[in-house]
Amino acid sequence: MVDVAEQTLADIGEFGLIAELTKRFPQGEQVLVGPGDDAALLRIRNGHVVVSTDLLVEGRHFRRNWASAADVGHRAAAQNLSDINAMGGRAHSLTVGLAAPADLPVRWALEFAEGFAEECSLLGASVVGGDVTRSSEIVVSVTVLGSLTQAPVLRSGARPGDVLALAGRQGWAAAGLAVLGRGFRSPRAVVTAYQRPEPPYDAGPAAAAAGATAMVDVSDGLLAEAGHLAAASGVAVDVTSSSLEIPEPFLAVAAAINADPASFVLTGGDDHALLATFPGDASLPDGWRVIGRVSEGEGVTVDGEAYDGPTGWTHF
């Protein structure tokens, strides 16, 4: 009997691939109709529905020699699940579009699906459908749906007098990318962080319950996302550099490549930490730490001064 994982996508065909992928996506209780029909049917309880879509493009967002198929699956799921987290919600359903070369081994697609499903299982979220097609490189498109049991926490709610706070690890993926970009694989801790982010999935709902006034997922860089929050809220944000954690592996990477270790934290993305503002007298939930302040004005500063250099990832 032929092992389907040893075939290519051209061998197995579109519907054969879909059949194999859907075996790897268990369905949660909110799914009334899952993969296999023209659309999924979901049960929606009290509250709001929140939706987001993201893309991963081979050569732009990942390289197969830097991350395994399962790693790419984890990353694709994490960046979408985190968007719902940043609204104060909880993701429950996803659809996945996969475009890939015809000669891509089926094994890669199956391992991608397994990594994706494993990340979704952290929240009990289900893959309820999607699509596959041919492409010159791998492209992954994910749409995620989630629920809110309270009003969403937007980027536009920060007010002068609020504190700026961070939840989750920050800068690890950026340090890992710097290492991989120079052909190395150590320190292993930062490389692993780049390959498989660990978003603080409980921090978003906890922040919303604690009265967070604004929140954003740190996907493109802490200062860049702080700038989005400041612009949407019409306020100024100042980051206190002494409040930032600079782990030892960052020092080793920075020394090796002649960089400022703080730059990984200030401008790195892909860890999918959360950045939020809270009223100055609020009691922050576990896992959140104050890293700055909000005031009248505009823009983002570090220790009261403009930051000299790129503030994060730019797509174009």
Residue from 272, 242, 276 nearest 158 by CA: 276
Is residue 186 part of an annotated ligand binding site? no
Is residue 130 part of an annotated ligand binding site? yes
Residue from 75, 140, 123 nearest 272 by CA: 75
- Residue 124 phi/psi, 5-degree rounding, is 70, 25
Is residue 289 part of an annotated ligand binding site? no
Is residue 103 part of an annotated ligand binding site? no
Is residue 131 part of an annotated ligand binding site? yes
Is residue 53 part of an annotated ligand binding site? yes
Is residue 38 part of an annotated ligand binding site? yes
Is residue 303 part of an annotated ligand binding site? no
Is residue 93 part of an annotated ligand binding site? no
Is residue 243 part of an annotated ligand binding site? no
Is residue 217 part of an annotated ligand binding site? yes
315: tokens are: 């797509």
Is residue 162 part of an annotated ligand binding site? no
Q: Show binding-site residues for Mg(2+).
A: 38, 52-54, 83, 131, 217, 220
User: Binding site for ATP: residue ranges?
Assistant: 130-131, 155, 219
Pick out the residues of the known binding site.
38, 52-54, 61, 83, 130-131, 155, 217, 219-220, 270, 313
